[in-house]
Amino acid sequence: MCGIFAYLNYLTAVDRQSIADILTNGLKRLEYRGYDSAGLAIDGDNENDVLIYKEVGKVAALQKLIQEQNTIDWQKTFTSHCGMAHTRWATHGQPSPINSHPHRSDPKNEFTVVHNGIITNYRELKLVLEKKGYTFESETDTEAIAKLAKYIWDSQKGNKQLTFTDLVKGVVKELEGAFAMIFKSVHFPNEIVATRRGSPLLIGVKTPKKLKVDFVDVEFGGIAEEIPAEVEGAPAALSALEEIYEQPESVVNTMRGRVNFDTHKVTLGGLKTYLPTIRRCRRIVFIACGTSYHSALATRAIFEELTEIPVSTELASDFLDRKTPIFRDDVCVFISQSGETADTILAMRYCIERGALCVGVTNTVGSSISRESHCGVHINAGPEIGVASTKAYTSQYIALVMIAIQLSEDRTSMTARRNEIIDGLHALPAHIKEVLAIDQELQRLARDVLHKEKSLLIMGRGFQNATCLEGALKIKEVSYMHSEGILAGELKHGPLALVDENMPVILIMTRDSLYPKVRSALEQVTARKGQPIIICNKGDDAINAESKTIRVPQTVDCLQGLLTIIPLQLLSYHLACLAGVDVDFPRNLAKSVTVE
């Protein structure tokens, strides 16, 4: 929700005070976007000087700070000058002057940057730059951009052909995420470079001549979009566990700027133009693979409940094999963490050919799905290093719930249900932290009960069916233990034959409308001498005190799967460690499946 504003006066004499006023007035025009701090950068008295002023609070506080700078000649006139300004809504690091924009490359302010968006691979960039001797002073992702510009400049000092534009292109090639940015440098006086990927950016032109238009939308550049980044990654020894523990933060990033908890409103800008079309559609078809498919399965019921539109879920490969009929009044939603999953891309192109509206839900801006779909939602989970998806699953889950909420906003009969879900989303980060706090208990369970087993059954129904499938997938792909997710309603139709005193069973039995039916499944398992581990809600006294339990906080039924999946993610990790398996790079698997 940040706002960026820059002003370039070229061969037009303007005094420093007027430049500062233009910049701060520009920021005031952006105040509607919401922000917690503001800052600007202008030229100093010497050729290599850049003055940076930053303040927490409103633009008025920044103006007051500028007025207090009595040692600066505010009447000094510049024939050509570039200034930049920014309002910040904190995404990385708390609101403070040091975390506010503009960000600098070094104490001499050789490069300054203002940025709107999220750089999802900033941690990896920061690690690489720190190893090369660059010191960071803030907690933000933007500082890595300025430092990266300085690194490229330092490594090519002898290259007299290097232009400011080429330098910025080199920076952009290494960035992942959505952004709009403006660069300023003492090495390229009277120049600024503007660039964007995913985020909007306009260039305004004012001249005595009459122009056809007075603003230009910055289009995507071919170089930044097509050349893959090659940045040394962070050590991945503990990345899977780190990503599981990042989920309180990643779910907030998914909701940030989109969910207003005070007004109980959800706003997804990427869908705004297409909402009327989606609401009129005949059916919605979720198409995905693996974990992404499970996120679709987890949210199908709440989609149907809120929108009253039929929803089906399809595995992309099977969808293509069957040549599934698709029509012009269908809406097809394609879910992929990387945005490059081959089967999902082919399924999307198949649907586009048949005239369906295609919606992309990805974690990678500029990916094939995000480019080729008609509209979409970026889940903002941040980069996942481990092959087994953890935080992307929970962010996909939330993104799909948010889509369902926004689609149903024209249905007043669903207001109470929407408000209940949004309140549940608000409490979600704290609830996830509660689940993560029982990690030691889960580690003991993995070591003492499950470690030496050859197979595992995970049972549940309703909203927990997808959790069973996803939990089983995590365990099998990470620890290589055979595991099977079973719909508890199907227990009598075959799977019950596997249950005896030697078969480990995990049963998900949380307090929702299907609780009595899941309890019936529990009785069937115990009647066959099974000794299930029960994932249940805290305070559920109906469960036998002698039973092995994993207790999680209670939340709204359609969000409960976000809490019950985390113990299974942690169990998969600990089982893999006990088996001596490389958790982050399971055998035979790849993070982005780009072939059929």
The reply to whether 271 and 327 lie within a common domain is yes
Residue span of the structural domain in which 411 resides: 239-429
The reply to whether 449 and 496 lie within a common domain is yes
The reply to whether 136 and 191 lie within a common domain is yes
Q: How confident is the model at residue 575 (pLDDT cuts 50, 70, 90)?
A: very high
Share of the chain above pLDDT 90, in %: 70
pLDDT score of 319: 97
The reply to whether 222 and 364 lie within a common domain is no
232 located within any domain: no
The reply to whether 406 and 448 lie within a common domain is no
**pLDDT tens digit sequence for 135-169:** 999 988 999 999 999 999 999 877 888 999 999 99
pLDDT at residue 200 tops 80: no
Q: Please, what's the b/e burial string for 6-25 (b: 16 or more CB within 10 A of its CB; e: otherwise)?
A: bbbbeeeebebebbbebbbe
The reply to whether 414 and 472 lie within a common domain is no
Task: State how far the Cα of 131 lies from the Cα of 134, in Å rounded to an integer.
Answer: 7
404 located within any domain: yes
| Rg of the chain on CA atoms, in Å | 27
CB-count exposure of residue 304 (10 Å: 0-12, 13-18, 19+): middle
588 located within any domain: no
DSSP assignment of 30-72: TGGG--SEEEEEEE-SSTT-EEEEEEES-HHHHHHHHHT-TTS
Q: Which domain-ending residue is among 412, 429, 446?
A: 429
Task: State how far the Cα of 39 lies from the Cα of 102, in Å rounded to an integer.
Answer: 6
Domain CATH for 73: 3.60.20.10
Q: Mean pLDDT throughout 175-198?
A: 87
Give catalytic residue positions: 2
Report the candidate in 42, 118, 37 with the shortest Cα–Cα distance to residue 77.
42
The reply to whether 405 and 455 lie within a common domain is no
The reply to whether 383 and 492 lie within a common domain is no
The reply to whether 403 and 475 lie within a common domain is no
Q: Which domain-ending residue is among 204, 226, 248?
A: 226
Task: State how far the Cα of 303 lies from the Cα of 297, in Å rounded to an integer.
Answer: 10
Work out the mean pLDDT of the chain and round it to a whole number.
89
pLDDT score of 222: 40
Task: State how far the Cα of 531 lies from the Cα of 32, in Å rounded to an integer.
Answer: 57
Which parts of 90-231 fold into alpha helices (H)? 122-131, 142-155, 164-173, 222-226
**pLDDT tens digit sequence for 429-481:** 999 999 999 999 999 999 999 999 999 999 999 999 999 999 999 999 999 99
Task: State how far the Cα of 144 lies from the Cα of 168, in Å rounded to an integer.
Answer: 13
573 located within any domain: yes
The reply to whether 396 and 503 lie within a common domain is no
Task: State how far the Cα of 311 lies from the Cα of 36, in Å rounded to an integer.
Answer: 40
The reply to whether 22 and 169 lie within a common domain is yes
The reply to whether 136 and 283 lie within a common domain is no
Domain CATH for 310: 3.40.50.10490
592 located within any domain: no
C-alpha distances in Å from residue 28, one per residue of 31, 32, 58, 62: 5, 8, 9, 11
Kindly report the backbone phi and psi dihedral angles of residue 35, in degrees, each rounded to the nearest multiple of 5, phi listed first.
-170, 165
Q: How many structural domains is the chain composed of? A: 3
C-alpha distances in Å from residue 387, one per residue of 70, 259, 592: 56, 29, 8
Return the axis-axis angle of helices 290-307 and 391-407, rounded to nearest 10°: 20
pLDDT score of 294: 98
Return the axis-axis angle of helices 247-255 and 415-436, rounded to nearest 10°: 160
Cα 136–Cα 163–Cα 216 angle in degrees, nearest 5 = 90
**pLDDT tens digit sequence for 38-74:** 999 999 988 788 999 999 988 999 999 999 988 888 9
Q: Which domain-ending residue is among 203, 226, 249?
A: 226
pLDDT at residue 230 tops 50: no
C-alpha distances in Å from residue 515, one per residue of 382, 535, 549: 35, 12, 16
pLDDT score of 95: 84
Q: Are 352 and 172 in contact (CB under 8 A)?
A: no
Count of other CB atoms within 10 angstroms of residue 453: 14
Sequence-distant (≥ 6) Cβ neighbours of residue 440 within 8 angstroms: none
CA dihedral 474, 475, 478, 479 (to 10 degrees): 180
Instruction: Locate 318 and state its tokens.
Output: 């099977």
Task: State how far the Cα of 565 lies from the Cα of 391, in Å rounded to an integer.
Answer: 11
Sequence-distant (≥ 6) Cβ neighbours of residue 563 within 8 angstroms: 431, 432, 435, 552, 553, 555
**pLDDT tens digit sequence for 280-331:** 999 999 999 999 999 999 999 999 999 999 999 999 999 999 999 999 999 9
Sequence-distant (≥ 6) Cβ neighbours of residue 540 within 8 angstroms: 511, 551
